[in-house]
Structure 1
Protein backbone atom coordinates (compact mmCIF):
# COMPACT_ATOMS: atom_id res chain seq x y z
CA UNK A 1 0.00 0.00 0.00
CA UNK A 2 2.66 2.42 0.60
CA UNK A 3 3.64 2.00 -2.98
CA UNK A 4 0.26 3.00 -4.22
CA UNK A 5 0.27 6.02 -2.06
CA UNK A 6 3.69 6.92 -3.27
CA UNK A 7 2.59 6.53 -6.86
CA UNK A 8 -0.55 8.48 -6.16
CA UNK A 9 1.36 11.18 -4.45
CA UNK A 10 3.81 11.25 -7.35
CA UNK A 11 0.99 11.42 -9.85
CA UNK A 12 -0.70 14.12 -7.79
CA UNK A 13 2.58 15.95 -7.55
CA UNK A 14 3.11 15.58 -11.26
CA UNK A 15 -0.49 16.60 -11.82
CA UNK A 16 0.08 19.54 -9.49
CA UNK A 17 3.21 20.47 -11.32
CA UNK A 18 1.40 19.91 -14.63
CA UNK A 19 -1.43 22.10 -13.36
CA UNK A 20 0.94 24.82 -12.27
CA UNK A 21 2.84 24.50 -15.56
CA UNK A 22 -0.43 24.67 -17.42
CA UNK A 23 -1.51 27.62 -15.32
CA UNK A 24 1.83 29.25 -15.99
CA UNK A 25 1.50 28.60 -19.74
CA UNK A 26 -2.07 29.95 -19.73
CA UNK A 27 -0.97 32.97 -17.73
CA UNK A 28 1.89 33.58 -20.17
CA UNK A 29 -0.46 33.21 -23.12
CA UNK A 30 -3.01 35.57 -21.52
CA UNK A 31 -0.21 38.01 -20.71
CA UNK A 32 1.11 37.70 -24.25
CA UNK A 33 -2.37 38.25 -25.69
CA UNK A 34 -2.91 41.27 -23.43
CA UNK A 35 0.52 42.62 -24.37
CA UNK A 36 -0.27 42.12 -28.06
CA UNK A 37 -3.65 43.86 -27.66
CA UNK A 38 -1.97 46.70 -25.75
CA UNK A 39 0.63 47.10 -28.51
CA UNK A 40 -2.08 46.95 -31.17
CA UNK A 41 -4.05 49.61 -29.27
CA UNK A 42 -0.90 51.73 -28.94
CA UNK A 43 -0.19 51.37 -32.66
CA UNK A 44 -3.81 52.29 -33.48
CA UNK A 45 -3.68 55.23 -31.05
CA UNK A 46 -0.34 56.43 -32.38
CA UNK A 47 -1.57 56.03 -35.96
CA UNK A 48 -4.77 57.98 -35.29
CA UNK A 49 -2.86 60.59 -33.26
CA UNK A 50 -0.34 60.92 -36.09
CA UNK A 51 -3.16 61.26 -38.65
CA UNK A 52 -4.97 63.81 -36.46
CA UNK A 53 -1.74 65.73 -35.91
CA UNK A 54 -0.99 65.71 -39.64
CA UNK A 55 -4.57 66.84 -40.37
CA UNK A 56 -4.30 69.61 -37.75
CA UNK A 57 -0.85 70.64 -38.97
CA UNK A 58 -2.11 70.65 -42.54
CA UNK A 59 -5.02 72.87 -41.52
CA UNK A 60 -2.66 75.18 -39.64
CA UNK A 61 -0.26 75.33 -42.60
CA UNK A 62 -3.16 76.08 -44.93
CA UNK A 63 -4.42 78.79 -42.57
CA UNK A 64 -0.91 80.25 -42.36
CA UNK A 65 -0.56 80.22 -46.15
CA UNK A 66 -3.97 81.92 -46.50
CA UNK A 67 -2.94 84.57 -43.98
CA UNK A 68 0.35 85.03 -45.80
CA UNK A 69 -1.47 85.41 -49.12
CA UNK A 70 -3.84 87.96 -47.54
CA UNK A 71 -0.86 89.91 -46.20
CA UNK A 72 0.75 89.87 -49.65
CA UNK A 73 -2.48 91.20 -51.20
CA UNK A 74 -2.73 93.92 -48.56
CA UNK A 75 0.91 94.87 -49.10
CA UNK A 76 0.46 94.91 -52.90
CA UNK A 77 -2.61 97.12 -52.50
CA UNK A 78 -0.63 99.41 -50.20
CA UNK A 79 2.24 99.62 -52.68
CA UNK A 80 -0.17 100.44 -55.53
CA UNK A 81 -1.98 103.07 -53.47
CA UNK A 82 1.33 104.54 -52.33
CA UNK A 83 2.58 104.68 -55.92
CA UNK A 84 -0.67 106.37 -57.00
CA UNK A 85 -0.34 108.88 -54.16
CA UNK A 86 3.29 109.53 -55.13
CA UNK A 87 2.18 110.12 -58.74
CA UNK A 88 -0.48 112.59 -57.56
CA UNK A 89 2.09 114.35 -55.37
CA UNK A 90 4.52 114.55 -58.31
CA UNK A 91 1.76 116.04 -60.50
CA UNK A 92 0.98 118.59 -57.77
CA UNK A 93 4.67 119.50 -57.44
CA UNK A 94 4.88 119.97 -61.21
CA UNK A 95 1.78 122.20 -61.14
CA UNK A 96 3.27 124.12 -58.23
CA UNK A 97 6.54 124.55 -60.12
CA UNK A 98 4.69 125.84 -63.22
CA UNK A 99 2.61 128.21 -61.08
CA UNK A 100 5.78 129.41 -59.34
CA UNK A 101 7.48 129.99 -62.68
CA UNK A 102 4.43 131.93 -63.96
CA UNK A 103 4.31 133.95 -60.76
CA UNK A 104 8.03 134.58 -60.94
CA UNK A 105 7.76 135.75 -64.56
CA UNK A 106 4.73 137.88 -63.70
CA UNK A 107 6.53 139.30 -60.66
CA UNK A 108 9.61 140.18 -62.72
CA UNK A 109 7.44 141.89 -65.37
CA UNK A 110 5.49 143.75 -62.69
CA UNK A 111 8.70 144.82 -60.99
CA UNK A 112 10.13 146.07 -64.31
CA UNK A 113 6.85 147.91 -65.00
CA UNK A 114 6.89 149.50 -61.53
CA UNK A 115 10.51 150.63 -62.02
CA UNK A 116 9.65 152.09 -65.46
CA UNK A 117 6.56 153.85 -64.08
CA UNK A 118 8.60 155.11 -61.12
CA UNK A 119 11.20 156.62 -63.46
CA UNK A 120 8.44 158.27 -65.56
CA UNK A 121 6.77 159.56 -62.40
CA UNK A 122 10.10 160.85 -61.13
CA UNK A 123 10.75 162.62 -64.45
CA UNK A 124 7.23 164.09 -64.31
CA UNK A 125 7.77 165.26 -60.74
CA UNK A 126 11.13 166.82 -61.62
CA UNK A 127 9.53 168.55 -64.62
CA UNK A 128 6.61 169.67 -62.45
CA UNK A 129 8.97 170.96 -59.76
CA UNK A 130 11.01 172.79 -62.41
CA UNK A 131 7.82 174.30 -63.83
CA UNK A 132 6.67 175.27 -60.34
CA UNK A 133 10.03 176.84 -59.58
CA UNK A 134 9.94 178.74 -62.87
CA UNK A 135 6.37 179.86 -62.08
CA UNK A 136 7.40 180.96 -58.59
CA UNK A 137 10.39 182.84 -60.03
CA UNK A 138 8.21 184.47 -62.73
CA UNK A 139 5.63 185.32 -60.11
CA UNK A 140 8.35 186.75 -57.91
CA UNK A 141 9.75 188.82 -60.83
CA UNK A 142 6.27 190.08 -61.62
CA UNK A 143 5.72 191.04 -58.02
CA UNK A 144 9.10 192.76 -57.96
CA UNK A 145 8.45 194.56 -61.16
CA UNK A 146 5.07 195.72 -59.94
CA UNK A 147 6.47 196.84 -56.62
CA UNK A 148 9.17 198.91 -58.41
CA UNK A 149 6.54 200.68 -60.44
CA UNK A 150 4.45 201.57 -57.55
Structure 2
Protein backbone atom coordinates (compact mmCIF):
# COMPACT_ATOMS: atom_id res chain seq x y z
CA UNK A 1 0.00 0.00 0.00
CA UNK A 2 1.27 3.47 -0.83
CA UNK A 3 2.19 6.06 1.79
CA UNK A 4 -0.31 8.87 2.21
CA UNK A 5 0.19 12.47 3.20
CA UNK A 6 -2.65 14.69 4.22
CA UNK A 7 -5.95 13.78 5.73
CA UNK A 8 -7.95 13.92 2.51
CA UNK A 9 -5.88 11.26 0.68
CA UNK A 10 -5.96 8.99 3.71
CA UNK A 11 -9.72 9.44 4.03
CA UNK A 12 -10.19 8.55 0.35
CA UNK A 13 -7.97 5.46 0.66
CA UNK A 14 -9.79 4.30 3.79
CA UNK A 15 -13.16 4.88 2.12
CA UNK A 16 -12.07 2.74 -0.85
CA UNK A 17 -10.90 -0.04 1.47
CA UNK A 18 -14.14 0.14 3.43
CA UNK A 19 -16.20 -0.03 0.23
CA UNK A 20 -14.31 -3.12 -0.92
CA UNK A 21 -14.65 -4.80 2.46
CA UNK A 22 -18.31 -3.88 2.81
CA UNK A 23 -19.17 -6.44 0.11
CA UNK A 24 -19.00 -9.58 2.23
CA UNK A 25 -18.53 -12.90 0.57
CA UNK A 26 -18.94 -16.54 1.36
CA UNK A 27 -16.47 -19.17 0.23
CA UNK A 28 -17.51 -22.80 -0.20
CA UNK A 29 -14.92 -25.43 -1.08
CA UNK A 30 -15.54 -29.10 -1.68
CA UNK A 31 -17.99 -31.08 -3.73
CA UNK A 32 -20.65 -28.65 -4.86
CA UNK A 33 -24.29 -29.47 -5.59
CA UNK A 34 -24.90 -31.03 -8.94
CA UNK A 35 -21.43 -32.51 -9.42
CA UNK A 36 -21.87 -35.86 -11.12
CA UNK A 37 -19.70 -38.61 -12.51
CA UNK A 38 -20.05 -39.56 -16.18
CA UNK A 39 -22.35 -42.42 -15.12
CA UNK A 40 -24.65 -39.95 -13.32
CA UNK A 41 -23.57 -40.82 -9.75
CA UNK A 42 -23.57 -37.94 -7.27
CA UNK A 43 -19.98 -36.94 -6.51
CA UNK A 44 -20.89 -35.20 -3.20
CA UNK A 45 -22.58 -38.42 -2.06
CA UNK A 46 -19.61 -40.53 -3.16
CA UNK A 47 -17.24 -38.19 -1.31
CA UNK A 48 -19.35 -38.38 1.87
CA UNK A 49 -19.51 -42.17 1.73
CA UNK A 50 -15.73 -42.33 1.40
CA UNK A 51 -15.17 -39.70 4.10
CA UNK A 52 -17.42 -41.32 6.71
CA UNK A 53 -17.56 -44.92 5.51
CA UNK A 54 -20.49 -47.30 5.15
CA UNK A 55 -21.27 -50.77 6.41
CA UNK A 56 -18.79 -52.19 3.90
CA UNK A 57 -16.41 -49.28 3.21
CA UNK A 58 -14.16 -48.04 6.04
CA UNK A 59 -13.94 -44.28 6.60
CA UNK A 60 -11.14 -42.49 4.78
CA UNK A 61 -11.35 -38.98 6.28
CA UNK A 62 -9.49 -37.07 3.55
CA UNK A 63 -11.61 -33.94 4.02
CA UNK A 64 -11.52 -33.79 7.83
CA UNK A 65 -7.79 -34.52 7.84
CA UNK A 66 -7.13 -31.69 5.38
CA UNK A 67 -9.18 -29.25 7.44
CA UNK A 68 -7.40 -30.27 10.65
CA UNK A 69 -3.98 -29.97 9.02
CA UNK A 70 -4.44 -26.82 6.92
CA UNK A 71 -7.15 -24.61 8.42
CA UNK A 72 -4.75 -22.73 10.71
CA UNK A 73 -3.09 -21.32 7.55
CA UNK A 74 -6.27 -19.96 6.00
CA UNK A 75 -6.81 -16.72 8.00
CA UNK A 76 -3.30 -15.45 7.28
CA UNK A 77 -3.61 -16.44 3.62
CA UNK A 78 -6.89 -14.57 3.29
CA UNK A 79 -5.41 -11.52 5.02
CA UNK A 80 -2.48 -11.53 2.57
CA UNK A 81 -4.86 -11.95 -0.36
CA UNK A 82 -6.95 -9.01 0.87
CA UNK A 83 -3.88 -6.77 1.00
CA UNK A 84 -2.67 -7.94 -2.41
CA UNK A 85 -6.09 -7.24 -3.96
CA UNK A 86 -6.83 -3.81 -2.50
CA UNK A 87 -9.13 -5.38 0.09
CA UNK A 88 -11.45 -6.82 -2.54
CA UNK A 89 -13.12 -9.61 -0.56
CA UNK A 90 -14.38 -11.47 -3.64
CA UNK A 91 -10.92 -11.58 -5.23
CA UNK A 92 -9.30 -12.61 -1.93
CA UNK A 93 -11.83 -15.38 -1.33
CA UNK A 94 -11.36 -16.63 -4.91
CA UNK A 95 -7.63 -16.93 -4.31
CA UNK A 96 -8.27 -18.70 -1.02
CA UNK A 97 -10.74 -21.03 -2.72
CA UNK A 98 -8.21 -21.98 -5.36
CA UNK A 99 -5.64 -22.73 -2.66
CA UNK A 100 -7.97 -24.78 -0.46
CA UNK A 101 -9.22 -26.66 -3.51
CA UNK A 102 -5.62 -27.69 -4.21
CA UNK A 103 -5.13 -28.73 -0.59
CA UNK A 104 -8.23 -30.92 -0.73
CA UNK A 105 -7.14 -32.52 -4.00
CA UNK A 106 -3.72 -33.21 -2.50
CA UNK A 107 -5.34 -34.80 0.54
CA UNK A 108 -7.28 -37.15 -1.75
CA UNK A 109 -4.04 -38.08 -3.51
CA UNK A 110 -2.18 -38.56 -0.21
CA UNK A 111 -4.79 -40.77 1.47
CA UNK A 112 -3.60 -44.37 1.38
CA UNK A 113 -5.27 -45.96 4.37
CA UNK A 114 -7.08 -47.95 5.26
CA UNK A 115 -6.02 -50.10 2.33
CA UNK A 116 -8.53 -51.29 -0.22
CA UNK A 117 -10.06 -54.73 0.03
CA UNK A 118 -8.38 -57.34 -2.17
CA UNK A 119 -11.57 -57.61 -4.24
CA UNK A 120 -11.51 -53.86 -4.92
CA UNK A 121 -7.84 -53.95 -5.93
CA UNK A 122 -8.62 -56.81 -8.31
CA UNK A 123 -11.57 -54.92 -9.84
CA UNK A 124 -9.66 -51.61 -10.17
CA UNK A 125 -6.31 -53.07 -11.11
CA UNK A 126 -4.42 -50.92 -8.56
CA UNK A 127 -4.45 -50.30 -4.83
CA UNK A 128 -4.95 -46.52 -4.50
CA UNK A 129 -7.95 -45.58 -2.32
CA UNK A 130 -10.25 -42.71 -3.32
CA UNK A 131 -9.12 -42.63 -6.95
CA UNK A 132 -10.54 -44.84 -9.63
CA UNK A 133 -11.36 -42.71 -12.66
CA UNK A 134 -10.46 -39.33 -11.15
CA UNK A 135 -14.10 -38.19 -11.00
CA UNK A 136 -14.02 -37.25 -7.32
CA UNK A 137 -10.59 -35.64 -7.54
CA UNK A 138 -11.62 -33.55 -10.55
CA UNK A 139 -14.95 -32.56 -8.97
CA UNK A 140 -13.33 -30.63 -6.12
CA UNK A 141 -14.36 -27.03 -6.67
CA UNK A 142 -15.10 -23.76 -4.94
CA UNK A 143 -17.49 -20.87 -5.26
CA UNK A 144 -17.57 -17.37 -3.87
CA UNK A 145 -20.91 -15.74 -3.27
CA UNK A 146 -21.06 -12.02 -2.65
Report which of the two has the higher share of helix: 1
* CA radius of gyration, larger in: 1
Using structure 1 for the length normalisation, give the TM-score.
0.23
In the superposition, the TM-score normalised over structure 2's length comes to 0.23
Q: Does 1 or 2 have the higher relative contact order (CA < 8 Å, sep 6+)?
A: 2
